[in-house]
Amino acid sequence: MCFSKRNHFRTNNSKKVRGHPTYIYKKVGSKYYFIGITHSEITHKTKNIKLDVNPNPDDPRDSYARPFSSEDNVDSFGGKKKGWLLSKQDKKKINIIKKNHRQ
């Protein structure tokens, strides 16, 4: 199946993720592949990976990425977040996380 590369942030509004921002890196069919972003060091007893720079330019708090990627239907996501970016150092961390995919 063909996929298209994505590199942007959106809010995932599914019941499972409940409105957290996500970094979307790929679209396959009607699914986005994403990495969850949070302010919490630990989520569901899993240690998150601290980002060097919060991708939200309006938020000075520490930001963390979930240590695995997931997938969800495109219609579970809101619009693109404007101005959100990953730092060069954080892109390296995200590239490692992309390899740890969970369905």
Average pLDDT over residues 45-66: 97
Strands 49-50 and 64-65: antiparallel
What b/e sequence results for 37-72 when a residue is b if at least 16 CB atoms lie within 10 Å of its CB, and e otherwise? bbeeeeeeeeebbebeebbbeeeeeebbbbbebbeb
pLDDT of residue 14: 87
Domain boundaries, the chain: 3-97
pTM for the model stands at 0.90
pLDDT of residue 1: 52
pLDDT higher than 70, residue 11: yes
- Architecture in CATH of 3-97: Roll (2.30)
Residue 47 pLDDT: 97
pLDDT per residue as tens digits for the range 24-42: 999 999 999 999 999 999 9
3-state secondary structure of 68: coil
Residue partners of 18: CB distance under 8 A and separation at least 6: none
